[in-house]
Amino acid sequence: MQTQSSSLLPVDQLISRLIEDAYQVSPESETCLLGDALGRVLSAPIISLVDVPPFDNSAMDGYALNWQPDLQNKMFPVSGVSPAGQRSGDLKLNTAVRILTGAPIPKGANTVIMQENVTCNESDDISTIVVNVQPQAHENIRRASQDIAKGAMVFPSGTRLGAAEIGLLASIGIVQVSVHRQLRVSVIATGDELVEAGKPLIGGQIYNSNTPLLTALLKMLHVQMIRAVQVPDQPEKLKELLSLASTDSDLILTTGGASVGDADHLKDVLTQIGRIENWKIAIKPGKPLVWGEVVSHLGQHVPMIGLPGNPQSVWVTFLIVVMPYLKALQGQRTRLLPQSVKVPAGFIRKKPQGRREYLRVQLVDGQLIQHPNQSSGALMSASWADGFAIIETGMTVEKGEYVSYIPMSGILCM
């Protein structure tokens, strides 16, 4: 393995700076019904006011008994039934109580024997069971508060609520939660060549995939889309739209115009109406990435990230750089960054790069297979891939060598 240095800003350093900057902002809070809280971020901790479960209950259908060391082969009359959702009576001496899953444990019982481990005998007068398998004391009993104790912190502030979190909050009787207000985001795609889908293409034009792509990704993060527009390569038009977006957005995302070509005006425009914090990072694809801010006519400083124009570069830089930044802006404090694992490479990389590369790969039979077209303009590999293989700056890779792999599920489902 060979290495070489790079003068570009490292990816991890930019992400750390973005997250640190985001945490300087205190998002506003609002109250949200639990049923509408999927994907939202808690602005206050959740403390349980109840025990879960609230009482000792049966883990399965069976019979509640008072445990003894010699229950096997003994016969017991069934003195009652304890169904779920009802108060249980007392266990009478030397009897058994038929009990159903989730039902309260009768007073005097301290074990539940599975119904498969007894023989039932029915008669007109009485039902009896014979214990075929000796149970353990406290077997098949779920103790009160074994999941959550009253007064325990269930989730700290900054937790993003997924389906499991919402289910858990419902289990402690939560109806509504305090969450951070949804971020307001504007997306501006630049380029004379861009045409909206559904319109005919003229020579030299392409369909605009960046705006629909970013819109879909932002919906996954439950942000409020203020506008999603495209603008030609005209600095005054770009300046006008950036100024407008700065009046009602918490974040502005642009695509294209961030490089050094004759039609790339973002850097000059941003210098006029804001400032540039950083320009270009050591990432492939996606080197021409601008981080700065736009200052509105009211003096509001609105952060802006200018993504490259190539669709694959938009895909990679959004998932790797913008997504953790957005989560931090939303107030999320945990699981901002995806976790990688080491997996053998099923490919060879002989030429070291001056930037960290995010190859679009599939995990097949225990090794990573790369898509044959890694071009920054080819979006097919994004749909094909199930993750990224990370090739560090200056690295070469031999087949079978372990490289870092980030599953796409670990990025999109955090």
Q: Which helix (H) or strand (E) holds 312?
A: helix 311-317
CA 292, 224, 307, 188 torsion: positive or negative? negative
3-class DSSP state for residue 371? coil
Q: Which of 69, 143, 119 is nearest to 96 (CA)?
A: 119
Position 259 pLDDT exceeds 90: no
Q: What is the CATH number of domain 11-28+182-329?
A: 3.40.980.10
Residues of the chain with CATH 2.40.340.10: 341-407
CA 217, 220, 221, 226 torsion: positive or negative? positive
Read off the pLDDT of residues 157-195 as tens digits, 9 standing for 90 and up.
999 999 999 999 999 999 999 999 999 999 999 998 899
CA 344, 348, 352, 356 torsion: positive or negative? negative
Position 6 pLDDT exceeds 50: no
Residues of the chain with CATH 2.170.190.11: 57-142
Residues of the chain with CATH 3.90.105.10: 29-52+148-180
Q: How far is CA 141 from the centre of its chain?
A: 34
- Beta-sheet pairing, 341-344 with 402-407: antiparallel
Cβ density class 123-134: b for 16+ within 10 Å, e for less: eeeeebbebeeb
Give the separation between CA 155 and CA 165, rounded to whole angstroms: 9
Please give the pLDDT value at position 126. 87
Position 2 pLDDT exceeds 90: no
Phi, psi of 255 (to 5 degrees): -130, 140
Confidence band for 260, pLDDT divided at 50, 70 and 90:
low
Please give the pLDDT value at position 124. 72
Position 265 pLDDT exceeds 70: yes
Confidence band for 3, pLDDT divided at 50, 70 and 90:
very low
Q: What is the mean pLDDT of the chain?
A: 93
In the chain, what percentage of residues exceed pLDDT 90? 85
Least trusted range by pLDDT, from 23-27, 281-285, 388-392? 23-27
In the chain, what percentage of residues exceed pLDDT 70? 97
- Beta-sheet pairing, 75-82 with 96-99: parallel
Tokens linked to 407: 């599953």
Position 61 pLDDT exceeds 70: yes
Domain 29-52+148-180 homologous superfamily, CATH: Molybdopterin biosynthesis moea protein, domain 2 (3.90.105.10)
Q: Where are the beta strands (DSSP E) in 1-91?
A: 29-33, 46-47, 57-58, 62-65, 75-82
Please give the pLDDT value at position 297. 86
Span 244-264, average pLDDT? 83
Give the separation between CA 194 and CA 213, rounded to whole angstroms: 14
CA 311, 359, 283, 221 torsion: positive or negative? positive
C-alpha separations of 38 from 47, 80, 222, 367 in Å: 19, 43, 8, 35
Cβ(102)–Cβ(57) under 8 Å?
Answer: yes
Tokens linked to 335: 């699981």
Cβ contacts of residue 62 below 8 Å, gap of 6+? 99, 112, 113, 114, 115, 117, 118, 140
341-407 is classed in which CATH architecture?
Beta Barrel (2.40)
Cβ contacts of residue 199 below 8 Å, gap of 6+? none
Q: Which of 196, 220, 209 is nearest to 309 (CA)?
A: 209
Read off the pLDDT of residues 316-348 as tens digits, 9 standing for 90 and up.
999 999 999 999 999 999 999 999 999 999 999
Q: Which of 113, 111, 109, 112 is nearest to 93 (CA)?
A: 109
Residues of the chain with CATH 3.40.980.10: 11-28+182-329
Q: Which helix (H) or strand (E) holds 316?
A: helix 311-317
Q: What is the CATH number of domain 57-142?
A: 2.170.190.11
Q: Which helix (H) or strand (E) holds 235?
A: helix 235-245
Least trusted range by pLDDT, from 73-82, 118-127, 147-156? 118-127
Omega before 308 cis (within 30°)? no
Give the separation between CA 385 and CA 369, rounded to whole angstroms: 9
Most confident by average pLDDT, 98-107, 188-197, 227-236: 98-107
C-alpha separations of 234 from 13, 138, 264 in Å: 32, 75, 9
Tokens linked to 278: 């950083």
Span 290-294, average pLDDT? 95
Confidence band for 26, pLDDT divided at 50, 70 and 90:
confident
